[in-house]
């Protein structure tokens, strides 16, 4: 058959690579993937502000590369996802270095050597050169300023690799100077987010006897343990190893302790970078690298809900199953295959149920432990699909106010303060199904006279405080829930 050679336009391809949707933290994590795959034991990330000349660098002490290996590493998709990879290789499509870097910077320089005695290999992608020439011109060496920077970052040589981003897209613009305080604050805020993200994504690598050392601007990156695995009150549900297609997926559910069993520091750690609500769900790992941190994976009937904040489930996916789980180029999304969904739904349902029980039963358990029933100022229940929230008229302080004794005014003030401080948020959160259909309706099922009696007392209070009868009615007509009812207050 006859055919045409349809080579992609270099400038157009680069524009596409810039649009992959990387955040700066995801892009840096992609560079760290390469360092881990190269056997690095120390990785240092640098963010340095200099206005439009600001730069970011990742330095590792891994195996390094020869000049030929460097050219291959800097060639777009030189090693596809179909090719076999080493057991420690965190790569996926052979595009991470390029796509991550092009998403953040217009100039990418990589310097590497395999040993102290080996010759240093340096190559640079300058996207302006590619755009001008419409050719994939991978430049030998780099400019003088970046060359000086490379020497500063690795003054003693040795095996390893340095990646430098220059001409950062968000900062290399006209008008951005080193004195721009707002831009500088944004730049270093990104560095902080990168530090937190690396601690989350590479948490398994940052602990243990052979742990990886990692810093961001000389600050050690701390591993984040989403499961509080060292806490004595954490519940570990039985782990399962499930055959999915030709691979085995390991799933292990955790129920975190009730927040009141955690110190403020432990609560902050458990909340993680995204907060309690965003961190519930499945945690998908690939070769110990976190892909998804808290997500219900689109499982039917699963959605984020305060009741399930304590539910976190590890899903260990082998790298060989990347295609089955639709791991994307950024290694930040995953879609479970059909064969895994029923298992995930079954395990997720059990874990969510247990997590809700920990929150909902804690008050009753605590009461039994103290040998007496707690007396709550509020009573919350759910009947016929409707949530009801009532003041407990058997509470001793409520009784005193209702009896109108000599200290009624003092008691009323104390009761109001008590009600303000004990609004049953936790109980309402647990009972609420996340749908508006069970929202409490004011005076539901009450007789019109009961509504009118309460309105009369408020009307009388307005008049006693100096309002005219007309003004009192007008204010009452605008006051919830009386704005939803007909009564004397609607008459002028």
One domain for residues 49 and 99: yes
Q: What is the 8-class DSSP label of residue 104?
A: H
In this structure, is residue 355 part of a structural domain?
A: yes
**Cα Rg of the chain (Å, integer):** 31
- What per-residue confidence (pLDDT) applies to 206? 95
**pLDDT tens digits, 5-33:** 788 888 788 777 776 678 999 999 999 99
Residue 208 is given by DSSP the state S
The residue assigned the tokens 């006051």 is 479
The more confidently predicted of residues 4 and 45 is: 45
Instruction: Reply yes or no on whether the pLDDT at 432 is more than 60.
Output: no
Task: Evaluate if residue 408 carries a pLDDT over 60.
Answer: yes
Separation of alpha carbons 252 and 238, rounded Å: 7
Burial bucket for residue 106 (CB in 10 Å: 0-12, 13-18, 19+): buried
In the predicted structure, residue 93 carries a pLDDT above the cut 50? no
d(CA 83, CA 220): 35
pLDDT score of 49 more than 90:
yes
pLDDT: which is higher, 433 or 445: 445
pLDDT in tens, 247-298: 899 999 999 999 888 998 999 889 988 889 899 999 999 999 999 999 999 8
Are residue 88 and residue 129 in the same domain, yes or no?
yes
pLDDT surpassing 50 at residue 368? no
pLDDT at 371 (0 to 100): 38
User: Does residue 344 lie within any of the structural domains?
Assistant: yes
Residue 97 near residue 30 (C-beta atoms within 8 A) = yes
What is the CA angle 301-305-309, rounded to 5?
A: 120
SS3 content of the chain, % helix, strand, coil (to 5): 40, 20, 40
The C-alpha atoms of residue 112 and residue 161 are separated, in whole angstroms, by: 4
Confidence of residue 225 (pLDDT cuts 50, 70, 90): very high
Residue 228 lies in a domain: no
Enclosing domain of residue 118: 10-220
188 plus 256 within the same structural domain: no
- The token pair that represents 121 in the structure block: 């290999």
Give the three-class secondary structure for 341. Answer: helix
Residue 365 lies in a domain: no
One domain, residues 406 and 310: no
Note the pLDDT of residue 138.
94
If one counts the domains in the chain, the total is 3
* Averaged pLDDT, 404-414: 79
| pLDDT at res. 77 | 66
How far is the C-alpha of 337 from the C-alpha of 388, rounded, in Å? 42
If one compares 135 and 174, the residue with the highest pLDDT of the two is 135
Is residue 16, in this structure, part of any structural domain at all? yes
CA–CA dist 351, 356 (Å, integer): 9
Q: Are strands 281-286 and 311-317 parallel, antiparallel or unpaired?
A: parallel
How far out from the chain centre does Cα 12 lie?
32
Neighbours of 130 (CB within 10 A): 21
Q: In this structure, are 412 and 463 located in the same domain?
A: yes
On whether both 25 and 160 belong to a single domain, the answer is yes
CATH number at residue 150: 3.30.565.10
| Residue 139 CA to its chain's centroid (Å) | 38
pLDDT digits (tens, 9 = 90+) for 65-86: 999 999 999 988 655 544 454 5
Any domain includes 1: no
CA-closest candidate to residue 94, choices 113, 68, 75: 75
């Amino acid at each position: 058959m006859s055919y045409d050679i349809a080579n992609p336009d270099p400038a157009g391809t680069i524009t596409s690579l810039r649009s992959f949707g990387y955040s700066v933290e995801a892009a840096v994590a992609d560079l760290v993937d390469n360092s881990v795959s190269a056997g690095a034991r120390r990785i240092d990330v640098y963010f340095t502000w200099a206005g439009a000349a600001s730069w970011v660098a990742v330095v590792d002490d891994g195996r390094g590369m020869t000049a030929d290996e460097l050219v291959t590493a800097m060639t777009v998709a030189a090693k596809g996802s179909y090719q076999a990879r080493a057991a420690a290789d965190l790569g996926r499509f052979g595009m991470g270095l390029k796509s991550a870097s092009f998403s953040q910077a217009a100039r990418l320089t990589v310097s590497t050597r395999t040993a102290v005695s080996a010759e240093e290999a340096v190559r640079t992608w300058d996207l302006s050169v590619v755009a001008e020439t419409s050719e994939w011109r991978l430049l030998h060496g780099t400019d003088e300023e970046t060359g000086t920077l490379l020497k500063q970052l690795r003054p003693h040589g040795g095996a390893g690799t340095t990646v430098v981003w220059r001409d950062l897209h968000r900062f290399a613009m006209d008008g951005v100077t080193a004195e721009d305080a707002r831009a500088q604050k944004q730049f270093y805020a990104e560095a902080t987010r990168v530090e937190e993200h690396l601690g989350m994504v590479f948490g398994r690598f940052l602990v243990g006897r052979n742990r990886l050392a990692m810093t961001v601007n000389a600050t050690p990156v701390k591993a984040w343990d989403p499961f509080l695995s060292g806490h004595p009150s954490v519940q570990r549900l039985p782990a399962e190893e499930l055959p999915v297609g030709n691979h085995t997926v390991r799933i292990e559910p955790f129920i975190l302790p009730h927040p009141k069993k955690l110190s403020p520091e432990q609560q902050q750690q458990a909340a993680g970078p995204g907060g309690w609500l965003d961190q519930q769900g499945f945690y998908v790992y690939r070769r110990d690298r976190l892909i998804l941190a808290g997500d219900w994976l689109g499982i039917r009937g699963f959605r984020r809900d305060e009741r399930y904040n304590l539910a976190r489930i590890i899903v260990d996916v082998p790298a060989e199953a990347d295609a089955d789980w639709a791991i994307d180029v950024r290694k930040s999304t995953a879609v479970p295959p059909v064969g895994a969904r029923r298992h995930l739904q079954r395990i997720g349902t059990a874990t969510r149920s247990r997590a809700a029980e920990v929150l909902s039963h804690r008050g009753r358990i605590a009461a039994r432990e103290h040998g007496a029933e707690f007396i709550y100022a509020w009573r919350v229940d759910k009947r016929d699909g409707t949530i009801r929230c009532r003041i407990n008229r058997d509470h001793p302080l409520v009784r005193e106010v209702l009896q109108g004794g000599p200290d009624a005014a003092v008691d009323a003030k104390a009761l109001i303060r008590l009600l303000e401080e004990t609004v049953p948020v936790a109980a309402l959160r647990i009972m609420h199904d996340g749908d508006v259909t069970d929202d409490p309706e004011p005076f539901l099922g009450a007789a019109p006279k009961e509504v009118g009696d309460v309105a009369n007392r408020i009307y009388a209070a307005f008049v006693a405080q100096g309002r005219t009868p007309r003004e009192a009615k007008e204010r009452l007509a605008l006051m919830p829930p009386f704005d939803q009812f007909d009564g004397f207050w609607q008459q002028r």
